Amino acid sequence: MTQVKLKPYSRVKLIEFNLDLLIMKRVYFIYTLFLCVLLFACSDKSSNNNPAKITSKPIQKQPKALPSEPVPPEQLAKAKELLAAKYDDIDGKAIFKRNCASCHGFKGNLKSSGAKDLTISKISMEESVAQIYFGKGLMLPYSKLLSDAEIVAVAKYAKGLRK
Ligand code: HEC
């Protein structure tokens, strides 16, 4: 009895439900199509940028040259003055460990805080002394922390770290 009464009602519901499902399916289909197109467009771009780029990336991590702004001439003049003076022998290694290793590492290649890799450095002794004395970028000036003799000694030690 009750079943017969419910039947027409449920049939309408069923048709409505089916219609809803159909619309939803369409929406999903269009959505998926859109995603596919998007994915294809993205993957196409990266693959078009040749696979060589991916293989060359790890190699690029170790730059051969160190791009750097030139040291101002007045700083170089001061460095020349420091280098010309006579000093007693000072242990540059100890000074380096105390003052420089936090960024450059004991071997000079730590590169912490954006420090340059000293083992592949190409700069002259004067530039090096000037940079330690006056500082550069994130590197502090050491003119007030170290004596002239210590600066020259540590610069020489740093140069010795080069390969
Ligand atoms: C706070 C971290 C820090 C400390 C400590 C530090 N440096 Fe540096 N050093 C740097 C940074 C950063 C650079 C790169 C500066 C730039 O070119 O902008 C650099 C660059 C250098 C360079 C130049 C390398 C090149 O090829 O251009 C030398 C030489 C150097 N440091 C020596 C020293 C010495 C010697 C000491 C210790 C007395 C020292 N540094 C302490 C951060 C540091």
Q: Tell whether 102 is covered by a domain.
A: yes
Report yes or no: 153 and 84 within 8 Å, Cβ to Cβ.
no
Q: pLDDT tens digits, residue range 12-21?
A: 777 887 888 8
* pTM, 2 dp: 0.68
Q: What is the pLDDT of residue 27?
A: 86
Question: Rounded to the nearest whole angstrom, what is the distance from the C-alpha of residue 83 to the centroid of ligand 1?
Answer: 18
Q: At residue 28, does pLDDT exceed 80?
A: yes
In sequence order, the β-bridge partners of residue 136 are: 139
Q: Tell whether 144 is covered by a domain.
A: yes
Question: Rounded to the nearest whole angstrom, what is the distance from the C-alpha of residue 139 to the centroid of ligand 1?
Answer: 5
Q: What is the pLDDT of residue 64?
A: 54
Q: Does 123 lie in the same domain as 48?
A: no
> Which ligand 1 atom is at minimum distance from the Cα of 122?
26
Cα–Cα distance measured from residue 43 to residue 108, given in angstroms and rounded to the nearest whole number: 40
Cα–Cα distance measured from residue 130 to residue 143, given in angstroms and rounded to the nearest whole number: 10
Task: Fill in the DSSP letter of residue 140.
Answer: P
Report yes or no: 128 and 159 within 8 Å, Cβ to Cβ.
yes
Cα–Cα distance measured from residue 116 to residue 44, given in angstroms and rounded to the nearest whole number: 37
Q: What is the pLDDT of residue 148?
A: 95
**Residues lining ligand 1, Cβ inside 6 A:** 66, 68, 96, 99-100, 102-104, 113-116, 118, 121, 123, 128, 131-132, 136-139, 142, 154-155, 158
Going from the C-alpha of 2 to that of each of 5, 6, 16, 83, 118, the distances in angstroms are 5, 6, 22, 108, 90
Mutate to test the pocket of ligand 1, among 98, 129, 139 (most ligand atoms within 8 A of CB): 139
Contacts of 138 (CB under 8 A, 6+ apart): 103, 113, 114, 115
Q: Does 56 lie in the same domain as 99?
A: no
Domain at 88, CATH number: 1.10.760.10
Structural domain harbouring 109: 73-160
